[in-house]
Amino acid sequence: MHDVLLAAQAAGELKEGLSAIGAGIVYGAAAIGPGIGIGIVVGNAITAMARQPEMAGQVRTTMFLGIAFTEALALFGFVLFFLAKG
C-alpha cells in the first residue's frame, strides 16, 4: 500500500513538473513572435525616417502604436503562462 501512495505522489509531482515545463515553453514561444515583430516595426520605421525626415513625427507615433499592439501579444502569452501553470 505504501508503494502505491509513493507512486501516486510521484505522479502528482511529475504532473506539476511537466506543467511548469509546458508553461515555460508556451511563454517562450509567445515571446518569440512579438520580439521579431518589434524588430521589424522599428527597423522599417528607422528606414522611413531616414528616407523622409520631415515625416519623422508621424512615423514615430505610428511606430509606437505598432510596438504597443505587438507587445500585447507577448502579454497574452504571459497570461497563458499563468493559466497553463495553474
Whole-number mean pLDDT of the chain?
A: 82
d(CA 46, CA 63): 9
Q: Which CATH superfamily is domain 2-85 in?
A: F1F0 ATP synthase subunit C (1.20.20.10)
* Domain coordinates in residue numbering, the chain: 2-85
Decide if pLDDT at 51 tops 70.
yes
Neighbours of 34 (CB within 10 A): 20
Decide if pLDDT at 15 tops 70.
yes
d(CA 31, CA 78): 8
Q: How confident is the model at residue 24 (pLDDT cuts 50, 70, 90)?
A: confident
- Average pLDDT score over residue span 35-42: 91
Per-range mean pLDDT, top range of 19-23, 28-32, 69-73: 69-73
- Global pTM reads 0.66
Exposed/middle/buried for residue 81 (C-beta within 10 Å: 0-12, 13-18, 19+): buried
